[in-house]
Structure 1
Amino acid sequence: MNYTQNEKIEQVTDSTMVVGVDIGSQIHYARAFDNRGRELTKRIFSFHNDLEGFNSFNLWAETLKTENKKTAVLIGCEPTGHYWFAFVKYVNDHQKRLVMVNPFSVKKIKELDDNSPKKTDSKDPKTIAKLVVDGRYSIPYMPEGIYAEIRDLVYSREPIWII
């Protein structure tokens, strides 16, 4: 879907909870905000990059959504290596809306906020959520069926040539 930035901004309404997720190799970090950028949690939420961690994230997000009387959840993350694939698949399988932000944008916005390019686990999810609220995201394309199989074959082609 090709939405304009204004159309993306309009999708974040008063009843939307925006969750920024910083993807890591083993642990992900999440923070939740409303449509105006006010944080809905007091602490950053961390969860492991496995099914148990994803289930705890889902429970955390649903609990926050209910407590804050929100009807929709919009999850934003930045693609980090291959670590984001499992998380995106889990989120899509659980009918939640997930969007991606550009890692370069995350870096530049962080520098604007505190004049420091340093990465921290608490700062990245906030920056990601801020980009989502501002409509600066894209919707990831995750192929299914035979198209996913073709993609996997292309990924495995390189190691075959090395042998």
Structure 2
Amino acid sequence: MPNTLIVGIDISSQSNSIFFIDDAGNHLLKKPFSLPNDQQGANELIQRVIHCLNQYNLSCVKFGMEATSHYTWHLHLHLASSSELLPYKPTFYVLNPSIVKGFKKIYTFLPKTDNIDAIVIASIVSGSVN
């Protein structure tokens, strides 16, 4: 039975594309969503993560994010310092963009979009290919 929420985040200067799967590779959303890359967007992400954890009765959370210049650092720090996420034992995976690009090659005929990259990043962290 899955117990971990995996959050894949493709980060850009203005917005973040986000996707949720569980540790069995099950997609917990129909499609990725975007939030602004600012404090308000980060706070909303925390609330959505907690909602999903509760909805699916999951006890842990892992965040995967592509290292995109300095934009990753701010979100990573904000999530890591969240007292609301602390009970879910958050762990973080900051991925080199070349790893994401290489891993994406196993998916045939996918476009290069931030939404697709969020799904791929979540898959890398979970260790599953769906």
| Structure 2 alignment gaps of length 5 or more | none
CA contact (8 A) 1:91 1:97 kept: no
Among 91, 95, 107, the residue aligned to 1:101 = 95
Give the distance between the partners of 2:73 and 2:114, measured in 1 at CA. Answer: 20
Percent identity over paired residues: 29
Give the distance between the partners of 2:94 and 2:74, measured in 1 at CA. Answer: 14
Q: Secondary structure at the match of 1:113?
A: coil
Partner residue of 1:43? 31
Partner residue of 2:52? 64
Among 51, 65, 73, the residue aligned to 2:61 = 73
Give the distance between the partners of 1:61 and 1:108, measured in 2 at CA. Answer: 27
1:126-160: per-residue Cα shift (whole Å, max 9, x none)? 1111111129xxxxxxxxxxxxxxxxxxxxxxxxx
Pair member with larger Rg = 1
1:4-47: per-residue Cα shift (whole Å, max 9, x none)? xxxxxxxxx82101110001111001100011211001231211
Query: What TM-score, normalized by structure 1, do the two folds share?
Result: 0.70
Give the distance between the partners of 2:21 and 2:15, measured in 1 at CA. Answer: 20
Partner residue of 2:116? 123
CA contact (8 A) 1:18 1:76 kept: yes
Give the distance between the partners of 1:14 and 1:101, measured in 2 at CA. Answer: 23
Q: Which has the higher contact order (CA 8 A, sep 6+)?
A: 2
Aligned amino acid, residue 113 of structure 1? Y
Give the distance between the partners of 1:107 and 1:43, measured in 2 at CA. Answer: 20
| Structure 1 alignment gaps of length 5 or more | 1-12, 136-163
Cα root mean square deviation, aligned: 1.7
Which one has the bigger helix percentage? 1
Give the distance between the partners of 2:98 and 2:80, measured in 1 at CA. Answer: 24
The count of aligned residue pairs is: 122
Which one has the bigger strand percentage? 2
CA contact (8 A) 2:32 2:119 kept: no
